[in-house]
Structure 1
Amino acid sequence: MANKLEFRQFWQQVMALTSANMRSRYRNTIAGFLWVVLNPLIMYSVQSFVFRKFLKIEVPNYSLFLLCGLLPWIFVVMSIDMITPVLDSSRELLKSFNISPFVLALAQVFDNFINFLFAFFLVLIPTWGMSDLSFTGIFFIPLALIFLVSGVIGMCFLLSVMQIFFKDVRFITSFVINILFFMTPIFYPVEYVPAEYRFLISYNPIFAMIEPFRYCIYDYDFNVLVFKLFKSGVVSVSFVAIAIIFWKRKRNEFFIKL
């Protein structure tokens, strides 16, 4: 009974903080919740135009191809950027109230995830509707989303806890993300990467969680999709497991460091 009550209180705190984060983000803004759509939509439109017209990337239905990678990438990057410092900047809150650090990280991920879902499907539906691609893969999107958000939760919580111990984590992750953007096949196909360098793509955990969306939406192939989902699931579970192990080992020291 006690565990059930604690579980209920945990999710009540997560939902309350998620709601508070969403309200505070758009308070006193003219466009309000529209910024959820405008930010990724503008970035998506500009990159689609530049890469298609200026760089002459010859990919059929390029707008849909870019959508499958860019919007999930934005979700991952925004989550890392916002959640890595969240525990460090919430020291007084953690000291003053009986609240789990995981609640703060999880609420921020859910806030970003809701924004991502809204923008993703708002752009996806008309873009996909104008194409003649298979709709079979749509049934696998929920599974791809589960692996993506689970992996992001594990990765971001790990980074936010590490930030308490190592103040350089935030700057290192920002630097690494900027490099990974160009080394991750988001705006270009994997085939554009020379064969001798493709191993770098294989060891990119963020791309492993994003790639299933491309096979769900753009290039559906059941056998390939199942393998990509399996790989995404392994990466996701690995991030969660590493985060749990690190937290258990550093939990007592974490509260001393606050």
Structure 2
Amino acid sequence: MAQKRSSSGKKVVRAEKAPASRTSESKGTEHAPDVESTWTATPEARKKAGTFRLLAGLLWALAIAGELVGIFWVLRQSDINMVLLIGLIVVIGALAIGGSLLWKKANRLDPAERKDTVRFFVQNQLGAIITIIAFLPLIVMILLNDDLDKKDKAIAGTVGVVVAVIATLVSVDWDPPSVEQYTAESSTVIDITGEDLVYWTSSGEVFHLCQDASAVNLESKDNTIYSGTVADAHAAGKSRLTKQVAMETKQCGFEVDESEPQDTDSADLSEAPAP
């Protein structure tokens, strides 16, 4: 069987089985694009997300344990080992970041609903919250420690603040996913193409309507176009549907609703290869 390719000659491959799906609120209408429905994660997606969250919780617990070791053992020594203290700070930062990255992956598979404001904020920013908890008491205790001279206190305090800030910035989810976003994207794709199927590349940050869209045919790392559901695309790390929907609707040969506003951007650079 011949390998499927786009108009530019790029190889087109199907992503792994979708970890999540868009399910209709009314039984028996799963395939009707004109029926209002809400995206929900499948049991497989929730199981995978649960595993990521469990691992994230373990890494965060180790980070907090490291903080306690620093406060109740390292800083209580009469001759404080600076190498050990700074090494512990770095390890705590690495554990906090590792847990946060896993937590973000889980949220991509099983996002919260934006309308539930408190849960949405906590679920998406929990990594940053835990990171602050893992660092703030330790930094305060370093600055208040009487066994450290001013020079060592300044060094340890500065390292602690820098690592804490870096870890917190990495842990914050600046563009958190939501059930509402996935539902809207799936609805848009299905309304235009007739199915929940989108395309992306390893170098791009967004996903597209068809394999012949100009943005997915730009040069990419592996010269491959991947296809799958909206959920597949998000699981692959793509943040959203392209903003150039109207332009791609024409490029892909789908019917254009002339009443809809057209794209004003001249180019979508989201698929440009990383330097």
The TM-score with structure 2 as length reference comes to 0.29
Higher helix share: 1
Higher strand share: 2
Larger RCO, structures 1/2 (Cα 8 Å, 6+ apart) = 1
